[in-house]
């Protein structure tokens, strides 16, 4: 069996184009562009690449991008002061503070300072609470991107067995909630789960969000299962490579012969995250402008 490739990159390009068209219409109606502010603390080179690509994607989607780069030794109070300035800035619709934060900056305290109406990452406790109780709010970009890919492939997910590996606040937990909302039967696995291969074998849908290169093996999968690989892991450089390869949490080469459909890394979930971020930012902008957002968003 050869799995169908779920082309997150193409799906994301499509979504960005749609968002871009609506963003142009928004600018026309509101008399200003939607704006996304990204705050990066410290000099992590990987984060730098993401921040840059977010900035480019934002501008390409007819929105305004604001970048705030702060030194690694920024105090919590100074960082929160920056967030509060962005909260008060009418040109800023969405605020993203790039995680992880360096040193002993308290991530929860910083996220709590973000205006929930600008929390386009969906990381604020208010956003998390709204998702949990089924009220409208911002949903974290990565799991929202994953559920879009799953609904696109399966339509109705009701009654399917879904296993989410990983229980972080930004991926695993909101992913499980979205699957539950779609009427899947959801199991959340984590580092203390016993007999993980057997748990995964029951799944029609597997979402791997662990951060361990190629941990999920082909013989853990139910034949025909749909596999969403959230992991982004950089391998050590092989001989002659300057940079190691990027791989997911799933052993892709072997898994593609067992799965029914699978996302690649790169080119799967990663690009969806950025496209959904732009979508969330435009939704925020419509709300701030008091204009009803188009249904299609
Ligand atoms: N594509 C994208 O846009 C994004 C990709 N990512 C990637 O997704 C991955 C997960 O990210 P994130 O959720 O932030 O990671 P975290 O490190 O916050 O969470 C990892 C989770 O995996 C669990 N885990 C660790 N080891 C095992 C194991 N051996 N067996 C089963 N479960 C295990 C942990 O369990 P426990 O809770 O018990 O410790 C934890 O719940 C990373 O590779 C990250 O780079 C993240 C965000 C966006
Ligand atoms: N506040 C906050 N919000 C985030 O959403 C957030 C964050 N902090 N910190 C870091 C993680 C990671 N993340 C990714 C986004 C895009 C790709 C992506 O587009 N990846 C490409 C490959 C890029 C490459 O080649 O390096 C792909 O998978 O095809 C990956 C990872 C968002 N994150």
Residue 134 is assigned to a structural domain of this protein:
no
Pair (203, 109) in one structural domain: no
Per-10-residue mean pLDDT, the chain, length 297: 94 98 98 98 88 96 97 97 98 97 96 98 98 98 98 98 98 98 98 98 98 98 98 94 94 98 98 98 98 91
Pair (145, 108) in one structural domain: no
Q: What is the pLDDT of residues 207-258, one digit of tens each?
A: 999 999 999 999 999 999 999 999 999 999 999 989 999 999 999 999 999 9
Residue 58 is assigned to a structural domain of this protein:
yes
Q: Identify the residue whose C-alpha is closest to ligand 1 atom 28.
A: 191
Ligand that comes closest to the CA of residue 229 = 1
Pair (38, 146) in one structural domain: no
List the CATH number of the domain containing 184.
Answer: 3.40.50.720
Pair (204, 88) in one structural domain: no
Instruction: Enter the ipTM.
Output: 0.98
pLDDT score of 54: 95
Q: Give 31 Cα–ligand 2 centroid separation in angstroms.
A: 31
Query: What global pTM score does this model have?
Result: 0.98
Q: Identify the residue whose C-alpha is closest to ligand 1 atom 48.
A: 142
List the CATH number of the domain containing 99.
Answer: 3.40.50.10860
Pair (151, 224) in one structural domain: yes
Pair (98, 178) in one structural domain: no
Pair (145, 111) in one structural domain: no
Residue 17 is assigned to a structural domain of this protein:
no
Ligand 1 pocket test, pick from 107, 190, 264 with the greatest ligand atom count within 8 Å of Cβ, gives: 190
**Domain with 188 in it:** 141-270
Residue 292 is assigned to a structural domain of this protein:
no
Pair (107, 146) in one structural domain: no
Residue 218 is assigned to a structural domain of this protein:
yes
Pair (56, 94) in one structural domain: yes
Residues designated as active site? 54, 98, 121
Q: Identify the residue whose C-alpha is closest to ligand 2 atom 31.
A: 270
Q: Identify the residue whose C-alpha is closest to ligand 1 atom 2.
A: 270
Name residues contacting ligand 1 (CB within 6 A): 142, 165-168, 170-172, 189-193, 196, 209-212, 230-233, 269-270, 273
Query: How many folded domains does the chain comprise?
Result: 2
Residue 131 is assigned to a structural domain of this protein:
no
Can you give the three-state secondary structure of the chain, one letter per residue? Answer: CCCEECCHHHHHHHHHHHHHHHHHHHHHHHCCCCEEEEEEECCCHHHHHHHHHHHHHHHHCCCEEEEEEECCCCCHHHHHHHHHHHHHCCCCCEEEECCCCCCCCCHHHHHHCCCHHHCCCCCCHHHHHHHHHCCCCCCCHHHHHHHHHHHHHHCCCCCCEEEEECCCCCCHHHHHHHHHHCCCEEEEECCCCCCHHHHHHCCCEEEECCCCCCCECHHHCCCCCEEEECCCEECCCCCCCCCCCEECCECHHHHCCCCCEECCCCCCHHHHHHHHHHHHHHHHHHHHHCCCCCCCC
Pair (112, 211) in one structural domain: no
Q: Is any ligand 2 atom within 6 A of the Cβ of residue 99?
A: yes
Ligand that comes closest to the CA of residue 176 = 1
Residue 187 is assigned to a structural domain of this protein:
yes
Ligand that comes closest to the CA of residue 123 = 2
Q: Give 169 Cα–ligand 1 centroid separation in angstroms.
A: 10
Pair (88, 154) in one structural domain: no
């Amino acid at each position: 069996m050869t799995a169908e490739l779920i082309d997150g990159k193409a799906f994301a390009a499509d979504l960005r184009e749609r968002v871009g068209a609506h963003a142009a219409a928004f600018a026309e109606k509101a008399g200003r562009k939607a704006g996304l502010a990204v705050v990066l603390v410290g000099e992590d080179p990987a984060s730098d690449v993401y921040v840059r690509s977010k900035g480019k994607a934002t501008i390409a989607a007819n929105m305004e991008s604001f970048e705030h780069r702060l030194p690694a030794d920024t105090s919590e109070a100074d960082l929160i002061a920056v967030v509060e300035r962005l909260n008060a800035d009418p040109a800023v619709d969405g605020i993203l503070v790039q995680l992880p934060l360096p040193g002993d900056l308290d991530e929860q305290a910083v996220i709590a300072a973000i205006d929930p109406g600008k929390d386009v990452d969906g990381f604020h406790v208010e956003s998390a609470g709204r998702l949990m109780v089924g009220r409208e709010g911002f949903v974290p970009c990565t799991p929202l991107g994953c559920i879009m890919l799953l609904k696109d492939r399966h339509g109705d997910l009701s009654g399917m067995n879904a296993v989410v590996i990983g229980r972080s606040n930004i991926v695993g937990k909101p992913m499980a909630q979205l699957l539950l909302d779609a009427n899947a039967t959801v199991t959340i696995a984590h580092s203390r789960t016993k007999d993980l291969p057997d748990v995964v074998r029951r799944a029609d849908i597997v979402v791997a969000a662990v951060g361990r290169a190629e941990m999920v093996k082909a013989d853990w999968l139910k034949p025909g299962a749909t596999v969403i690989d959230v992991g982004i892991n950089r391998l050590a450089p092989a001989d002659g490579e300057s940079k190691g390869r990027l791989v997911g949490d799933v052993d892709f080469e072997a898994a593609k012969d067992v799965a029914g459909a699978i996302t690649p890394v790169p080119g799967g979930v990663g690009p969806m995250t950025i496209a959904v971020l732009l979508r969330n930012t435009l939704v925020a902008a419509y709300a701030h402008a008091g204009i009803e957002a188009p249904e299609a968003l």
